[in-house]
Amino acid sequence: MTTRVEIWTDINCPFCYLGKARFEEALSRFEHRGDVEVVHRSFELDPGLPADETGPVIPRIAAKYGIPVEQAAANERAIGAQAAELGLPYLTSGRDFGNSFDMHRLLHFALDKGRQDAMIDALYAGNFAEPEPVFADPERLVALAVRAGLDETEVRAVLNDPNAYADAVRADEREAAQLGATGVPFFVFDDKYAVSGAQPVEVFTQALTTAWNDRPAPLVLADSDACGPDGCALPGPA
């Protein structure tokens, strides 16, 4: 039996980038890490943003929160310092923002191909650690997806079909709303326990341990008629 962890995130969210690293540090230390399944789910921070609209992120943050540009820049530097503590590269200036719907569609495609974790890492690196813009640029998304090990022709087919995996993204977002998630990252362990935000490593360790210990034990009754890999046991004489 496994423990399932679902993580609602958005590529626009720096704390999702940090939270993934902290969760993975906790998972790396977890005794049963080989029996933990991790799935990334979709959550758009700004779903109403036009797909072709992008621009520098610091003025966008200042306008969204009603703070001076200087304060927004200072906040970015503070996040960069947290990233550095985790060994994560982080550009504190020069990043862009944009609609992330196509990114989420690619993450669902990558899940089908067994490359979802590599895909989200490529997107995080592209957004937070590399100077080239990642939003409103399909060619950049293609390059990141290929870096994650996905087939270029298949990736282009997904991006060129606006309906591909769109329902999966919307289903994730509906589920997040039903769970009461109003922000990301949002972690759900075995459909029972939720952790909101980029919590310290110790919090994720506790959540993993609690979820693992609360799994139902399988019921096994021995000495009964059964079939196995070598066939079925023949009944004895009456």
- What is the structure's pLDDT at 13? 96
pLDDT band, residue 217 (cuts 50/70/90): low
What CA–CA distance (Å, rounded) separates 106 from 113? 10
pLDDT value for 215: 80
- Find out whether 57 and 97 touch, Cβ atoms under 8 Å: yes
Whether 179 contacts 194, CB under 8 Å: yes
2-16 burial, b for 16+ CB within 10 Å, e for fewer? ebebbbbbbbbbbbb
73-130 pLDDT per residue, tens: 999 999 999 999 999 999 999 999 999 999 999 999 999 999 999 999 999 999 999 9
In this structure, what token pair is assigned to residue 43? 């959550």
pLDDT at 221: 47
The dihedral through the CA atoms of 127, 132, 135, 139 has a sign that is negative
Tell me the pLDDT tens digit for each residue of 21-64. Answer: 999 999 999 999 999 999 999 999 999 999 999 999 999 999 99
Q: Kindly report, residue by residue over 169-215, the tens digit of the pLDDT.
A: 999 999 999 999 999 999 999 999 999 999 999 999 999 999 999 98
What is the predicted pLDDT for the residue at 208? Answer: 97
Give all strands of the β-sheet with 186-189 in edge-to-edge order.
36-42, 3-9, 186-189, 193-196
Pick from 122, 99, 119: nearest CA to 108:
119
165: left (phi over 0), alpha (psi -120 to 50) or beta: left
CB-based contact 14:79 (threshold 8 Å): yes
Indicate the angle between helix axes 14-29 and 69-85, nearest 10 degrees.
10
Confidence of residue 236 (pLDDT cuts 50, 70, 90): low
Secondary structure (3-state) at 227: strand
| Per-residue confidence (pLDDT) for residue 100, from 0 to 100 | 97
Tell me what pLDDT residue 216 has: 73
Average pLDDT rounded to a whole number, residues 147-162: 98
Distances (CA, A) of 64 to 14, 59, 61, 71: 15, 9, 5, 12
Does 163 score more than 50 pLDDT? yes
DSSP secondary structure code for residue 33 in this structure: G
How far is it, in rounded angstroms, from Cα 136 to Cα 197?
27
Q: How would residue 235 be classed by pLDDT, with cut points 50, 70 and 90?
A: low
Q: pLDDT value at position 57? A: 95
